[in-house]
A and B are shown apart, each in its own frame.
Chain A
Amino acid sequence: MPIEVRIPTILRPYTKDQKSVAAEGATLSAVISDLDAKYAGLGERLLENGALRRFINVYVNDEDVRFLGGLEAAIKDGDSITVLPAVAGG
């Protein structure tokens, strides 16, 4: 069973406007690599210098991945990942 990844509006140009896409991987890092292989350029919008971007929030089954080990967070079949840009500014 693949992992469902919910894509925010601003990143849908990378996924041909799909709100939700399927991916595979045992860690968040592997899932992002898989996403980037399928949807070129998406990885760069999530990562910066090999780390998750500060103003991109990623959740695994409603839990912020920053509390699950970040890119090393374990992912299993059937998990749901949600990507949301922070609502922030100065």
Chain B
Amino acid sequence: MSLEISRNFVDAIAEQSRAEYPDECCGVILGPAGSGQALRHKPMLNAAHSPTFYEFDPKDLLALYREVDDNDEEIVVIYHSHTETEAYPSRTDIAYAGEPGAHYVLVSTRKEIAPATEFRSYRIIDGVVTEESVTITD
């Protein structure tokens, strides 16, 4: 298993995570249904406005799924940032992971590695976390 993703998206997510610091940022990357290709970046609002939690606004969530259906797309990547800890799924990330087909991407803005950010990808299925390799394309 692996994630292939454009450098533009990696850079944009890093930028968003810095802009929304100290809150966690979040969003998705969409692609044509069944393709598994991460092609359309869509930053989302963190309705929790929190440094330790993120949640898509329920209204935005419904709009997102309607849009995905209408465009015959799928959610390929679900990402969020960790502001002070490493880019590894937390217990709550694992408990609430509801998209078995998605790549769960974690970025970290923790100061030990600043200005660099970490970017890692996982599958989270039935409470089991499996890290996967990330290939960044130009």
Contacts and interface: CB of A to CB of B under 8 A. Distances in A.
Interface of A: 8-10, 55, 57, 59, 62, 64, 66, 82, 84-90
Given A89-B80, A90-B52, A84 B92 contact: no
Chain B contact residues: helix, strand, loop or mixed:
mixed
A87 B100 contact: no
17 contacts: A55-B96, A55-B98, A57-B62, A84-B61, A85-B99, A86-B61, A86-B98, A87-B28, A87-B44, A87-B61, A87-B78, A89-B54, A89-B80, A89-B90, A89-B92, A89-B96, A90-B92
A54 to B, nearest CB: 9
A87 B98 CA distance: 7
B53 to A, nearest CB: 5
Nearest to B59: A64
Nearest to B44: A87
B61 A10 contact: no
A64 B61 CA distance: 11
